[in-house]
Amino acid sequence: MKMTIITDDQGNILGAVQGHSLTGKQGDVEASVSFAEGHQTHMMEVDDDMGMIEDATIFQQRLRKHLDTHMQKSHPKA
């Protein structure tokens, strides 16, 4: 499943949205999500069951695991 995770400048998770699009339009209504300076979006693939997790603590732990893996792949240590 595609997910976008948003972090602050310290790497703390601020939120996540399903998919990679931060804009949407339905009928005449159009919306866009934007973030303050220093915040980053990380677009990645996560486990398909992420959308079914109801426990916030488990959801945060799983997000962190995916984000850490993503960061290691995009910024490998030399």
Query: What are 32-77's pLDDT values in tens digits?
Result: 878 888 999 999 999 999 989 999 999 999 999 999 998 888 777 6
Query: By mean pLDDT, which of 6-10, 18-22, 27-31 is the weakest?
Result: 18-22
CA distance 42 to 4: 5
Q: What is the pTM of this model?
A: 0.77
Strand-pairing partners, residue 15, are 6
Which amino acid, one-letter code, is at 40? Q
Backbone φ and ψ for 71, nearest 5 degrees, come out as -65, -35
Q: Report the DSSP beta bridge partners of residue 32.
A: 23
Enumerate the domain spans of the chain. Answer: 2-74
pLDDT at 55: 96
Question: Which run of H or of E encompasses 18?
Answer: strand 13-18
More confident residue, 69 or 20: 69
